[in-house]
Every structure is written in C-alpha cells, then in structure tokens.
Amino acid sequence: MAADPPIRRAGDWGVGRTGRRSSMDGSRKAIIAAFLANLGIAVAKLVGFLVTGAASLAAEAIHSLADTANQGLLFLGERKSRREPDSTHPFGYGRERYFWAFVVALVLFSGGGLFALFEAEEKLRHPHELESLSWAVGILVVAFVLEALSLRTAIRASRHAKGRDSWKEFVLRSKNAELPVVLLEDSGALIGLAFALAGVTLAAATGNARFDALGSLGIGILLVVIALTLATKMKSLLIGEAGDPDEVAAVRVAIAGHEAVRRLARLRTLQLGPDELMVIAEVEFRHDLDAAEVAAAVDDVQATVRAGVPAAKVVHLEPETANAPSVA
C-alpha cells in the first residue's frame, strides 16, 4: 500500500492566491493615482466640451467626474473599515469597504453610464457640429496618457495580490474591495477614450455629427456593463462569501495536521473584510486527552491557524463527539 502523502503545515502554503500581506498600501496608491488623474482629466474634458460642443467629450467629462468622486468614496470606505469592533459590530467594520465599493458601482451606473446614454440619445436626435477637432483630439490624447499612468499604478499595486490568477480571475474573484474597482474604472476609461476619439474623428472626417453621438453611446454601454459587473461582485461579498480557496485549504491543513486532532468534522469560513477571515470548525480531538488537554489543544490549533493564515482574525473551534458524521 502506498504511503500517505506528507501533511503540509499551514506555513508551507504561503499566504495564498490573494497574497495578503495587507493590501492597504497598494490600494491607497492606486486610489490616489486614479483620483489625481481623473480630476485633471475631468477639468480638461469639460474645457474641451465647452470649446467644441462634442457629445462624447461631455460624456467623458461626466465619466471622469464620477470616477473622481468614486475614489473619494473608496477612501471613505477604507477609513471607516479601520474602526475597532464594538458591541454593535463585534466582528468589526471590514465590510464597509465592500459597501462603499458597491456605492461606487451605483455612481458609475447613474452618474456615468446613464448620463452618457442620455447625451447620446439627445445628440442623435439633435446633432451638434464639432467646432474644433484639434482641441478635442488634443484633450483626448492627454487624457489617454493620464489614464494609462493611473492604470499602470493600479496594475503594479495589484500584482502582489493577483498571484497566479489571470487579471480577469483577480477582478472577479478577489476579496479586495478597491483594486478591482480601480482596474475596471481605468480600463473602461481607456476604452471609452478610444470610443470618444473615434467618434470625434469620424464626425470631422465625414461631416456627420452623429458619429460623435455614437461614441457617447459606446461609452454609456461600456460604463453600464462595468457598473453591473462591480455591483454583482460587491453584492456577493456583502452577502457573505467563503474565504479564498488557498487560504481555506491552508486552514484545513493547519487543523487536520495538528497532533492533537483526530478528525476535522466541519469547516466553514466567512470573509469579514478584504484582510479578515472568520473560521468556524468542528473538531474531534484525540480520545486520550482530558478536558484540560483539549482546552490547551484548542488554543494551540487556533495559534497554528493564525500563524499560517494571518487573515484568520476570528477562529472558533468546537470540540466534536467521536460519533459525529464527517462533512469536512
């Protein structure tokens, strides 16, 4: 009979796919870069709209203003999440970050997507001739450079958390509240700028101002899709998701591999915030241990779990009877 594979301790797993040292510093850098870029871009686009009357520039200006406000909301969520647990919220305020990221999705949907669609519909019915192509193109190129710099900062800040996931997997499955928002916003902004540039260029080349309105239409659809993606993701995190699979596996190994544990009967995890995990486990300890030794073993297993998975802030172990069914 083949020998059983050696059991790895929790520390052998590293920190899992999300790479949590703490994601706070990287998130802050990405938010600051996005805030400054969007504020500068919004001002430039508003000036360009006033000079040219381009519908796509108006849509992009509102988009950038909404993005600027969104970075402020992400900062607010990050600050509020640092509050200490109290009697009302005994497990802390980590999910504040998810709530404000959900609000960001609503702002992006209403303040960005719906406005762009409204502007496109208005300009399709009442086309407005482009007054200065050079102004429009120049502002869009500057905006593209600033957005690209902001996206580069977000990508650098996300690399340590992304681990071996693809970028799509990271955005859709990450427990981080801010980095997926900034990545989607900046990526959407770059695509939206391409739509705006194509719209104003075709409008000037053909003399048909409706191409500009079509650029605004493309921006609106893009923002609505991004907003719905973010809202769906944050809704799932607010309702309550299990921990990252790699971290859950590390917790399972830490408990089941402990010398005092005979069997792990049940393991449940709950993500309390981007860097906070709750662990609830029903554990059958060795039958030769007395009550005092079981109590000591519980403390030791909890310490082992926290050492292997620093995000496991709340670890609750319930000693199980020997005849309980295993559902681990």
Q: Would residue 14 be called left, alpha or beta, if left means φ above 0 and alpha means ψ between -120 and 50 degrees?
A: left
Task: Name the fold adopted by 245-319.
Answer: Alpha-Beta Plaits (3.30.70)
Q: Across residues 267-271, what is the average pLDDT?
A: 95
Distance, CA of 299 to CA of 85 (rounded, Å): 22
* Per-residue pLDDT tens digits for 299-311: 999 999 999 999 9
Q: Give 1's pLDDT tier (boundaries 50, 70, 90).
A: very low
pLDDT > 70: percent of the chain: 88
Q: Which residues of 281-300 are buried (b: 16+ CB within 10 A; e: fewer)?
A: bbbbbeeeeeeeebeebbee
- In sign, the C-alpha dihedral spanning 318, 321, 322, 326 is negative
Is domain 20-239 annotated with CATH 3.40.50.300?
no
**CB of 29 within 8 A of CB of 168?**
no
Domain boundaries defined on the chain: 20-239, 245-319
pLDDT at position 272 is: 93
